[in-house]
């Protein structure tokens, strides 16, 4: 079943068209990768869907409902979860409290349930010593914390913006496994990633963006060998 549908979505910042007439569909329990060179519009794509920016034009249909005009917090409550490319710990809350925020407001739980829920998610992701300040966490733990905060909102679709950036090969492997498990719980996953091996291993379908347009779509092999994708990454051949 289809969970998210995007129709002719555009986003302009002044004279710059960051997204240009993008159409995309996401099925339930799918793992989709979004690739593209820097400035292709990948993060803008997530920001517009999650409601950080309003789109300039187009429609976003989520779970059979037009959410184009809804504010970010409502979209979150409906089931759109996300992490950020640049890590954003809430530095005045500790590790567990950071995750509780997602459960408290994204899912509307009370304090006690939120605490239990956050603890469960931490256990699932392998986070411990939950009373630590965020300044004491390493990069893997912060990335997991951000993922946990998004998971705690009980999303139906989860956008992960360059979650692997800065992780070692072993850590990457661990996170890939985690993402698979999350999908098996029935959550659609959309990963934005620069690490091609991750995209190849993890995703079932890839969308390639360049200059705000979708230039290719399909299985990783097809997309990676698509001449337009190659030229977008490496430049035109003379």
Partner 1 sequence: MYATLALSWDMMFRSGQPGLSVAGFFGLGGYAAALSFLYWGVNPLVSIALGCLFSLLVAFILGLVILRIRGLYFSIATMSLSEIFRVIVMNWHRFTGGPSGKALPSAVFNGDSAKIFWLFLVLTLLTVIVSEIFERSRVHFALTSIRNNEIVAKSSGIDVFKYLVVVFALTSALQGMIGGAYAHSYAFISPEGSFNFNFVLLPVTMALFGGIHSTLGPIVGAVILGVVGEYLKLQLPYGHLLVYGVIIVIVILFLPKGIVGTAKERLKRKWATI
Kindly state whether residue 106 participates in binding partner 1, applying the rule CB under 8 A.
yes
Kindly state whether residue 94 participates in binding partner 1, applying the rule CB under 8 A.
no
Contact region for partner 1 (CB under 8 A) — 31-39, 47-55, 198-206, 209-217? 47-55
Min CB(15)–partner 1 separation in Å? 24
Kindly state whether residue 93 participates in binding partner 1, applying the rule CB under 8 A.
yes
3-state secondary structure 17-72: EEEEEEEEEEECCCEEEEECCCCCCHHHHHHHHHCCCCCCEEEEEECCEECCCCCH
Burial of 136 (0-12, 13-18, 19+ CB in 10 A): exposed
Kindly state whether residue 111 participates in binding partner 1, applying the rule CB under 8 A.
yes
Kindly state whether residue 61 participates in binding partner 1, applying the rule CB under 8 A.
no
Kindly state whether residue 130 participates in binding partner 1, applying the rule CB under 8 A.
no
Contact region for partner 1 (CB under 8 A) — 9-17, 61-69, 72-80, 201-209? 72-80
Contact region for partner 1 (CB under 8 A) — 9-17, 19-27, 105-113, 209-217? 105-113
204: tokens are: 């079932």
Question: How many binding residues for partner 1 (CB under 8 A)?
Answer: 30
Contact region for partner 1 (CB under 8 A) — 18-26, 80-88, 183-191, 194-202? 80-88
Kindly state whether residue 116 participates in binding partner 1, applying the rule CB under 8 A.
no
Kindly state whether residue 33 participates in binding partner 1, applying the rule CB under 8 A.
no
Min CB(111)–partner 1 separation in Å? 6
Residues 6+ apart with CB under 8 A from 86: none
Q: Of 20, 9, 35, 21, nearest to 226 (Cα)?
A: 35
CA separation for the pair 233, 230 (Å, rounded): 5
Q: Give me the helix-helix angle, 111-125 and 139-152, nearest 10°.
A: 130
Residues that bind partner 1 (CB under 8 A): 50-52, 71-73, 76-77, 82, 84, 88-93, 97, 100-102, 104-108, 110-111, 149-150, 153
């Amino acid at each position: 079943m289809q969970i998210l549908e995007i129709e002719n979505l555009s986003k302009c910042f002044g004279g710059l068209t960051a997204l240009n007439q993008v159409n995309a569909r996401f099925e339930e329990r799918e793992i989709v990768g979004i690739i593209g060179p820097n400035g292709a519009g990948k993060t803008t794509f997530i920001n517009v869907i999650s409601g950080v920016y309003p789109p300039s034009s187009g429609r976003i249909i989520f779970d059979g409902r037009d959410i184009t005009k809804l504010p970010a917090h409502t979209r979150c409550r409906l089931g759109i979860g996300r992490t950020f490319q640049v890590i954003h710990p809430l530095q005045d809350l500790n590790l567990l409290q950071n995750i509780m925020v997602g459960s408290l407001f994204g899912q509307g739980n009370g304090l006690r349930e939120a605490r239990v829920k956050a603890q469960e998610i931490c256990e699932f992701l392998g986070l411990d010593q939950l009373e630590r300040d965020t300044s004491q966490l390493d990069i893997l733990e912060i990335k997991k914390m951000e993922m946990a905060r998004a998971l705690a909102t009980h999303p139906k679709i989860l956008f992960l913006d360059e979650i692997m950036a800065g992780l070692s090969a072993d850590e990457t492997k661990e996170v890939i496994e985690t993402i698979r498990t999350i999908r098996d719980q029935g959550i659609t996953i959309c990963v934005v990633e620069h690490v091609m091996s991750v995209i190849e291993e993890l995703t079932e379908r890839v969308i390639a963006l360049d200059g705000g347009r979708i230039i290719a779509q399909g299985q990783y092999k097809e997309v990676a060998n698509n001449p337009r994708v190659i030229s977008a990454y490496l430049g035109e051949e003379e």
